[in-house]
């Protein structure tokens, strides 16, 4: 079992790592401890690390990876290990992956303890107060200010590892703020959970065998009379099922066609009604236009006739007046003649 525990400083990774070591018989690999042990042993890698630290420089990733490589080759690490303090960056995670692949190994899980920064600060302050009350020595970097700086560095450098291992399907998370025993139980549940079954690839997928055919290279097995009867019954049942399915499909198609035809008929009926209404409206409009035109002509004709009649009456009256005037003058002249005649 090869594990990585993620979480900010003070999350309880060391406590949970010790419990896993005792339960599964694996070793906890701390980069700091391995670095000191390698320098003390005087190995070539340890000598390189010693020279770098003597110059006050940080030990590069390739040196740390070489130290881890030597450590996991030792006998006590054959059953597995828990990496503590490494990797801290995505670059270190990629280097670790290449190292394990070169040895034919891989990680089983990456478990992250999720905690709240403000609660961590309260924890460290309470722990310091308890250590002082018991008269125990307190480390110089074991204070709230140092922890705040370490938390900032963790969120900038190490937190991206969560997404990196999540994409590889290795990341698991649990509540690190729960009591220690509950956190241990949650980690055990994660480790004992069965992995999801992956879909078979095209190369590993078994070839499909069609009904009535046998795979290439395999001889057909002899079948008894009962086997043949069972095969016939199965074929008959399959044929009946196909027939029933075809009939059901036909009924469904006919029903769908009838519904579609009914709907089309309704649409056509509505279209005809709309066309009939439009035609009637146009006819009424045309009739009204003709009636108006005819009435206009009749009125004009009547006006013309009335004017002609009035003109004829005027002419007749004028003619009668002239005739009456001439007649009176004639009569006057005749009477005067008669009077003259009688006088004579």
DSSP character string of 43-69: -HHHHHHHHHHHTTPPPPHHHHHHHHH
Mean pLDDT in the chain?
76
Which pLDDT score is estimated for 202? 45
Judge whether 150 counts as a catalytic residue.
yes
**47: in domain:** no
Phi, psi of 95 (to 5 degrees): -65, -40
- What total number of domains does the chain contain? 2
Nearest to 61, CA basis, from 87, 42, 22, 36: 87
**295: in domain:** yes
**333: in domain:** yes
Per the residue annotation, which of 36, 50, 88, 166 is the catalytic one? 88
**Shared domain check, 10 and 131:** yes
Which pLDDT score is estimated for 4? 92
Q: Which residue stretches of 154-224 are H helix?
A: 161-167, 180-192
**232: in domain:** no
Which pLDDT score is estimated for 199? 47
Per the residue annotation, which of 2, 13, 48, 172 is the catalytic one? 13
Give me the residues of the chain with pLDDT under 70, please.
139-142, 194-234, 237-238, 241, 245, 247-261, 264-265, 267-268, 271, 312, 316-344
**Cα–Cα distance, 77 to 26 (Å, whole number):** 7
Which pLDDT score is estimated for 8? 85
pLDDT digits (tens, 9 = 90+) for 42-51: 888 888 888 8
pLDDT digits (tens, 9 = 90+) for 300-344: 777 777 777 777 677 766 666 666 655 555 555 555 544 544 444
Judge whether 13 counts as a catalytic residue.
yes
**217: in domain:** no
The tokens of 105 are what? 């190994």
Give the domain-ending residue among 192, 224, 244. 192
**Cα–Cα distance, 86 to 152 (Å, whole number):** 17
Give the 3-state secondary structure of residue 255. Answer: helix
Give the domain-ending residue among 167, 192, 217. 192
Phi, psi of 130 (to 5 degrees): -70, -40
Which pLDDT score is estimated for 329? 55
Give the domain-ending residue among 176, 192, 208. 192
Which pLDDT score is estimated for 270? 72
Which pLDDT score is estimated for 165? 92
Query: β-strands 81-84, 109-114: how paired?
Result: unpaired
Domain that holds residue 83: 2-26+79-192
Check if the beta carbon of residue 26 is closer than 8 Å to that of residue 20.
yes
Which pLDDT score is estimated for 54? 77
Which pLDDT score is estimated for 164? 92
What is the length of the chain?
344
pTM given for the model: 0.52
Whole-number Cα distances in Å, 77 to 38, 72, 86, 129: 16, 5, 16, 38
**Cα–Cα distance, 139 to 146 (Å, whole number):** 11
The tokens of 52 are what? 């770098």
Whole-number Cα distances in Å, 124 to 117, 140, 220, 280: 11, 13, 75, 94
**Cα–Cα distance, 107 to 102 (Å, whole number):** 13
Per the residue annotation, which of 127, 223, 270, 317 is the catalytic one? 127
Which pLDDT score is estimated for 305? 77
Per the residue annotation, which of 139, 205, 333, 342 is the catalytic one? 139
Which pLDDT score is estimated for 331? 54
Which pLDDT score is estimated for 153? 83
Judge whether 127 counts as a catalytic residue.
yes
**37: in domain:** no
Which pLDDT score is estimated for 137? 78
């Amino acid at each position: 079992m090869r594990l990585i525990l993620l979480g900010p400083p003070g999350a309880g990774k060391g406590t949970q790592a010790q419990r896993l070591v005792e339960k599964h018989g694996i070793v906890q690999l701390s980069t700091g401890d391995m670095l000191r042990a390698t320098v003390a042993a005087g190995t070539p890698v340890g000598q390189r690390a010693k020279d770098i630290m003597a110059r006050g420089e940080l030990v590069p990733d390739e040196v740390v990876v070489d130290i881890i490589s030597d450590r996991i080759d030792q006998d006590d690490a054959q059953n597995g290990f828990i990496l503590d303090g490494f990797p801290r960056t995505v670059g270190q995670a990629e280097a670790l992956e290449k190292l394990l692949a070169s040895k034919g190994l891989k990680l089983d899980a990456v478990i992250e303890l999720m905690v709240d920064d403000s609660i961590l600060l309260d924890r460290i302050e309470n722990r310091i107060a308890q250590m002082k009350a018991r008269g125990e020595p307190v480390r110089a970097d074991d204070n709230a200010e140092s922890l705040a700086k370490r938390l900032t560095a963790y969120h900038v450098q190490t937190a991206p590892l969560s997404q990196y291992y999540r994409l590889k399907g290795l990341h698991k998370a649990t509540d690190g703020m729960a009591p220690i025993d509950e956190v241990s139980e949650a980690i055990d549940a994660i480790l004992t959970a069965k992995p999801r079954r992956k879909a078979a690839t095209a190369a590993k997928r078994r070839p499909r065998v069609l009904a009535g055919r046998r795979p290439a290279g395999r001889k057909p097995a002899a079948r008894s009379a009962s086997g043949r009867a069972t095969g016939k019954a199965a074929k008959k049942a399959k044929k009946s099922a196909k027939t029933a399915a075809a009939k059901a499909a036909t009924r469904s198609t006919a029903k769908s066609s009838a519904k579609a035809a009914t709907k089309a008929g309704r649409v056509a009926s509505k279209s005809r009604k709309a066309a009939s209404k439009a035609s009637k409206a146009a006819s009424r409009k045309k009739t009204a236009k003709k009636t108006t035109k005819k009435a206009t002509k009749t009125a004009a004709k009547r006006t013309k006739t009335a004017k002609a009649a009035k003109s004829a009456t005027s002419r007749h009256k004028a003619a009668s007046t002239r005739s009456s005037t001439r007649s009176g003058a004639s009569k006057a002249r005749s009477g005067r003649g008669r009077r003259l005649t009688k006088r004579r």
